[in-house]
Amino acid sequence: MTGLMAVFKRELKGYFATPVAYVFLVIFLFFSGYLTFKEGFFEFRQADMRPFFANLPLLFVFMIPSTAMRLWAEERKTGSIELLLTLPVTVTQAVIAKFAAAWCFLGIALFLTFPVPMTVCYLGDPDKGLIVTGYIGSFLMAGGFLAIGSFFSALAKNQVVSFILAVAACGVLVYAGMPSTLNYFAGIFGPGSVPVIESLSFQSHFDSVLKGVIEFKDIAYFVILIVGWIWACSIILDERKAS
C-alpha cells in the first residue's frame, strides 16, 4: 500500500510540474463553458445544468484521451517504465495508482467548473439533486474514458497512436447510444438489437443518471467498464515486463 501511494503522489504531482496540466485545464474550462452558453442558454429561460452536462460526453471523447495517452506511452518512450516497475509495487498496483492520480486530476478539472452551477443558481432555483447526480455521473464517465485511454496508452508505444485509438473507442461507445445510431442498427438487425447496443453505450447510462436517479445498473456499468479496462491494461504491461 505504501508503494501504491508513493506512485499515486508522484503521478499527481507530475501533472502540475509542467504547463501541460494547466493548458488542459484552461482548454477544458473554456470549452465546457463555451458549449454551455453558446446554445442559447439564456434564451431558454430555464435555470438548469442540462446544457452543460449534455456537452460533456463529446468533450470527454477528445479531452480525456489527451490526458491518458501519456500514462504509459511516455513511460515506455523515456524508458522510465523499467524504473517504475522495479519499485516495490506490482504491475496492477502501478496501473491502479497511475489511473487514480489521473482520475483525481480529472476530478479537479470538473470541480473547477463550479462557476457554471453558481451562475445557474444565481439565475434561478435549479434542482440541486440533479446537479449533484450530474456531477457524479460525469466523474464516473470520466473514469470510464480514462480506463480506456490507459489501456491504449499501454498498448501503443506512440502517444499520438494511443490518442487516436482511445478517441475512436470512446467515440464508438458514446455514439452507440445516439438515437440516430440506434435507429440505424434497428433497421439492419431489427428492433431487438436496440436494448443490447444501448446498454453498451456511455450516452444511455449517462443520460439515465442525469434524470436524477442513480440506478444500480448505471453504477455497475461504469464500475465494470473501469475494472475491465484497467485489468486489460495490467495484462498488457505484465506481458511487456515478462518479455
Q: What is the mean pLDDT of residues 174-191?
A: 75
Question: Contact at 8 Å (CB) between 232 and 155?
Answer: no
Task: Note whether 210 and 132 are within 8 A (CB).
Answer: no
**Mean pLDDT calculated for residue range 174-199:** 75
Q: How much of the chain exceeds pLDDT 70, in percent?
A: 88
How do residues 36-60 score in pLDDT, each as one tens digit? 777 656 556 666 788 889 889 889 9
* Residue at grid coordinates 486489460: 232
Cell of residue 94, nine digits: 502501478
Total number of residues shown for the chain: 243
Contact 3, 88 (CB under 8 A): yes
Q: Average per-residue pLDDT in the chain?
A: 83
Phi, psi of 134 (to 5 degrees): -65, -40
Three-class DSSP category at 30 = helix
In the predicted model, is pLDDT for residue 77 greater than 70?
no
Q: What is the pTM of this model?
A: 0.89
